[in-house]
Structure 1
Amino acid sequence: MGRMKFVQRRAGRYEFRFPLPDDLAGKPVPPPWPETLTAFVNARAGRFKTELVRSLQTNDGRTADRRVLAHIAEAHRLVDQARRFLRDGPAAGISADQIAALARDHEIHLLATDETIRAKGVGLDMAHEDGQGHHDGLGMTADDLHAYQILVDELDRHTRQQAAQMRAGESTSAFVNRAVEARGVILSPDDPAWRQLELAFVKAQRSALAGIRARLNGDEVLTPERQRETRSLALTAALRLWAEAGGAGARKPQPSSVAEAERAARRFVELHGDLPITAISKAHARAFRDALVRLPKALPARIGRLPLPELLKQDLGQYPRRNAQTVNKTLALLSGVLARAERDGHFEALPAWTNPFHVGFDVAPAEREPYEPFSAAELQRLFASPVYAQAERPLGGQGEAAYWFPLIALFSGARRTEIAQLKVGDVRQGEAGIWYIDITNEGADQNLKTMSSARSVPVHHELIRLGLLDVVAAQARVQPPSAPLWPSFAPPIDPKVKAWTKWFGRYLGVHVVDSAAKTFHSFRHTFKRACREAGLSEEVHNALTGHAGGGVGRRYGRERRADGTLDCGISLARLQIEIDKVGYRDVALPRPNSERIRFKRAAN
């Protein structure tokens, strides 16, 4: 097997060798460059290096291949940061955490300097004419101590005065300037961060001088160790870790959620850059949230491809705006990415850290549950529409999916994706010859919203009457059990489901009802309501729809089926009896679909 890329063996040990891309290698680096880019910079020449070399500290090839992964991810992150630095210049602004870290470093610097002075002394000896006697360099002379104490007292008095006035002196401002420059941070002269930094440094000086005075009284005051510089994960790197979510058997986010999170992160990076996650502040999150509010929910592709800052310069007034719930969902995904990083310990150096993406909107009560069940009159109009009354199959409806998706949802409560991703073998016979739909995530490109969504739903007698089993049998004669039940929904399913849903929304608007509260998901609400009307217990209709509920006790009493999976704790026979109680009064259901199908391109 070939060696992992960027891994080379040298003198019996493995090392990571990463050539910098041509647009960086050897190029001048304008100062001040961020400390995080130091590994890429030849400080003497003021240019980017041509290659990054790091020892992997092993002579075992497999160990080297594992260790190099983190180095590769870090190198690519630094490449992105270096390119942004050359394009945009030094990062503007500074976070509260960075202010605290700079002030802490200042305090440590003062305590460490004091330790050095007292350890070696100056050698003052006022008994000699020149004030300098023989000194062995082992601690302070009595005159050293006296003079130094006067100096410390004066510094302490001056610092206390600055604290009382809440106004930093020139020497303190000089310390701040040097610290900011060393970090490669650019602040506008009128940026409020200057005042925050200066007051933080004054506070740090008071703390350091209190420690020094205690030392001069003979007390032991240790100099804190500088925190090791930890290279914080960039947002995109944290996103990858969240999406991978461990090895086999680990619970992973749904592919659709990963895709949405990737789109959200891309927009955030377009606005702020691929920031280290420890540098992301609520100010960044608020700016991102407010940008999303201005971003329409649907845009033509030629406009939608623009970077977010450019997109917001366009006249977007003609497009419908996205609602607060959609914005909150986007923020929640990025919040989840950072929450995973927090569990992994990436914020341990920031004890006061809170998730910056917790800046969602308060949604109006009327908007929290936007979906409503269909009325009997609306269902009647649906079944009198061309798909059911005239056997039309608009191209956007993807053949038989236009006919069967609403019916299956109406008599099972299944979600659109759960129906679309069914395989031929997912509709089968179980105990006592009962036909059921196995809603699972076992097949290729099959995903479930939650763990409780995995379930077996008996096929309602109306679906059998209408010919669903004939559809399954026809597919089973020509396709293996693992093939898609609906040929138009072969993997990848998610984009096809979204396209179908847009078609169905238009179809509803033309033939049934034009309301934001009435969508395909309304079938699930309609089924739940019908279950209650039929007298089904909550435990039973939750088992049919895959809703969690009932606490720990719901997991008790589950039996293992012949295929090795666990049932929901209620037998198929009981579920069959219960689901067949569900009906819809005052609704004339379509006749069995035995007419010749007419495929027709429809404007809707």
Structure 2
Amino acid sequence: MAGLRQSEIREKVQAYFKAQLDQYLDWLDRRGLSKNALEDVRCEMLDHESYLDMEKESDQYLPVKPFLRKSGLTVQDWQSSQPMMQRELRKGRRDLLRAVLEATERLEHYSYDGARAIAPAAPAPALPASSPLGAAVDDFIAEHSRQWADKTIGQNRAYLNVLVEYFGHDRLLATITKQDASEVKKVLQAIPASRNTKPKLKAMPLMQVIKEPGHKKIAAKTINSHIQMFKMFFDWAERHGHSPHTLFEGMKVKKDEASKSERKPFTPDQARLIYTELTENTSKLVRKDSHKWGMLLGMFTGARLNEICQLDIADVQQDGDTWFLNITDEGDGNKSVKSKAGRRKVPLHSELIRLGFLCFVDSRRHGTRLFPDYSYSANGGYGRNLGRWCNKSFLPKLGIKQSGLVYHSFRHTMVTRLSQMDVPEPIVQSIVGHARSGVTQTSYNKEGFTLAQLKEAI
């Protein structure tokens, strides 16, 4: 079946988001948007930009079903018009959010362009008042620290430290140009992948280490993570008057074929094989209860590796007849969540209870942590040991170790299966700890979803 032409797709995307924009602007005029809601809008817009830059085929954050319904299209129309329709829909959503942000920005200012001048205008200064780069980075990190987990703060500071190392701590932000940004991109592409692990390279200054021959360079994905953080920083700097312009827009690099081993969901057959081995141990691969339950929790909750391994016994809770995991960063000081959305309650699947998970929890009541044999490390949190066992021992010995299949694939599997069962995207996001997107979710649905709603989905 032939798909729609690009001109037809763009016409429908334009009409769909134009109607949405009118609704958003009406809401903005009547009520305005909170700072948190605006930040959510800005972050989602950047996420769409990232998907487009990386040419990643995913319908994450896209209103596929409402778009098809409002546009009079079928699922067959959607499938036969890929990947073009998906990309156009993402562009439309991105630019809708950009229009909302621009409208909000206009409401922050008044214009008096028509006023009579009473004195000759003074010459414009060559540069606006500006801040030193190092101090601005500190302010940026401090402002976002409440939203980011400790691990995320450390990672993002490491990215921004590359800027500080390249330009110097005292370089004024207003003097950094687009040409400078282009040079930074070249430097990123020359950084050895082992710079932070090999003592010799770690001791070298940035401009020296990029000239060291014989070292594999950092991957395109890592380069793009740096660039995305640089762009977020300069967007913030421009809004706060530290820089006359934003930088690093559209500068991400394309992934080469060798680096496109994105994490994938397990197929139903692979998931059944993993489940059978974990519950029946037919090949004697599972030697620890912490391995068994750490894997099964990942399979049936879609939680992140570190979220599972850092659980306290007290995090397994009951509300009425519903048992759930209370995923939180409260505890020993080393527990963390990736973002504010990571703090959540995830109902336990009935299969976990049938298999005896609550009995396992009771057997650990004498201690504090659910998995005390998983020790903490600054780089890997509590999840390093289970991740290594799963990825380097368990999956290969089962014969299903392929590129892109790792512990994190449980998470991708959960998102995929829930989406295939037509579970609404905001509920999927609440279960796996993604920030709920869209003005409706961020401005109206402040309380989130009930345990009963989440349990029904799981």
**TM-score, length basis structure 1:** 0.47
The residue aligned with 1:311 is 209
**Contact 1:445–1:492 at 8 Å: present in 2 too?**
no
Which residue type is aligned with residue 326 of structure 1?
T
3-state SS, counterpart of residue 404 of structure 1: helix
| Distance (whole Å) between structure 1 residues aligned to residue 443 and residue 251 of structure 2 | 39
1:206-225 paired onto structure 2 within 5 Å: 222=120, 224=122
- Give, in angstroms, the shift of residue 555 of structure 1: 6.6
- Give, in angstroms, the shift of residue 368 of structure 1: 7.8
| Distance (whole Å) between structure 1 residues aligned to residue 176 and residue 124 of structure 2 | 23
**Per the alignment, do residues 240 and 401 of structure 1 end up closer, same or farther by CA in structure 2, a change over 3 Å counting?**
farther
**Per the alignment, do residues 430 and 478 of structure 1 end up closer, same or farther by CA in structure 2, a change over 3 Å counting?**
same
| Distance (whole Å) between structure 2 residues aligned to residue 515 and residue 364 of structure 1 | 18
- Give, in angstroms, the shift of residue 376 of structure 1: 3.5
- Give, in angstroms, the shift of residue 502 of structure 1: 4.8
The residue aligned with 2:198 is 301
The residue aligned with 2:138 is 240
| Distance (whole Å) between structure 1 residues aligned to residue 383 and residue 209 of structure 2 | 24
Bigger RCO of structures 1 and 2 (CA < 8 A, at least 6 apart): 2
* Identity value in percent: 24
Structure 1 residues not aligned, in runs of 5+: 1-219, 394-398, 559-565, 580-604
The residue aligned with 1:35 is none
| Distance (whole Å) between structure 2 residues aligned to residue 552 and residue 426 of structure 1 | 31
The residue aligned with 1:133 is none
- Give, in angstroms, the shift of residue 383 of structure 1: 5.2
- Give, in angstroms, the shift of residue 554 of structure 1: 4.4
Between Structure 1 and Structure 2, how many residues are aligned?
Answer: 333
The one of 359, 365, 371 equivalent to 1:486 is 371
Asked whether 1:515 is paired with 2:409, we answer no
Which residue type is aligned with residue 141 of structure 2?
A
The one of 139, 154, 157 equivalent to 1:262 is 157
Asked whether 1:525 is paired with 2:403, we answer no
**Per the alignment, do residues 225 and 492 of structure 1 end up closer, same or farther by CA in structure 2, a change over 3 Å counting?**
farther
3-state SS, counterpart of residue 429 of structure 1: strand
**Contact 1:421–1:493 at 8 Å: present in 2 too?**
no
**Contact 1:235–1:265 at 8 Å: present in 2 too?**
no
The residue aligned with 1:506 is 392
**Per the alignment, do residues 325 and 224 of structure 1 end up closer, same or farther by CA in structure 2, a change over 3 Å counting?**
same
The residue aligned with 1:390 is 284
Asked whether 1:376 is paired with 2:255, we answer no
3-state SS, counterpart of residue 193 of structure 2: coil
**Per the alignment, do residues 384 and 357 of structure 1 end up closer, same or farther by CA in structure 2, a change over 3 Å counting?**
same
Which residue type is aligned with residue 186 of structure 2?
D
- Give, in angstroms, the shift of residue 411 of structure 1: 0.5
The residue aligned with 1:569 is 449
**Contact 1:475–1:485 at 8 Å: present in 2 too?**
yes
| Distance (whole Å) between structure 1 residues aligned to residue 429 and residue 119 of structure 2 | 63
Asked whether 1:470 is paired with 2:355, we answer no
**Contact 1:415–1:521 at 8 Å: present in 2 too?**
yes
**Contact 1:437–1:459 at 8 Å: present in 2 too?**
yes
- Give, in angstroms, the shift of residue 263 of structure 1: 1.8
| Distance (whole Å) between structure 2 residues aligned to residue 554 and residue 229 of structure 1 | 40
| Distance (whole Å) between structure 2 residues aligned to residue 509 and residue 281 of structure 1 | 48
**Contact 2:192–2:210 at 8 Å: present in 1 too?**
no
**Contact 2:262–2:404 at 8 Å: present in 1 too?**
yes
**Contact 1:238–1:338 at 8 Å: present in 2 too?**
no
Deviates more, 1:285-294 or 1:295-304: 295-304
**Contact 1:422–1:485 at 8 Å: present in 2 too?**
yes
| Distance (whole Å) between structure 1 residues aligned to residue 430 and residue 345 of structure 2 | 8
Which residue type is aligned with residue 448 of structure 2?
C
Point out the structure with the larger helix share: 2
**TM-score, length basis structure 2:** 0.61
**Aligned-residue RMSD, C-alpha:** 3.8
The residue aligned with 1:339 is 235
3-state SS, counterpart of residue 495 of structure 1: coil
Which residue type is aligned with residue 411 of structure 2?
R
**Contact 1:409–1:523 at 8 Å: present in 2 too?**
yes
| Distance (whole Å) between structure 2 residues aligned to residue 548 and residue 273 of structure 1 | 34
- Give, in angstroms, the shift of residue 406 of structure 1: 2.4
| Distance (whole Å) between structure 2 residues aligned to residue 366 and residue 430 of structure 1 | 47
Asked whether 1:403 is paired with 2:283, we answer no
- Give, in angstroms, the shift of residue 490 of structure 1: 6.3
Larger radius of gyration: 1
The residue aligned with 1:324 is 220
Which residue type is aligned with residue 327 of structure 2?
I
The residue aligned with 1:422 is 311
Which residue type is aligned with residue 288 of structure 1?
V
The one of 440, 448, 457 equivalent to 2:328 is 440
3-state SS, counterpart of residue 428 of structure 1: strand
Structure 2 residues not aligned, in runs of 5+: 1-117
Asked whether 1:495 is paired with 2:396, we answer no
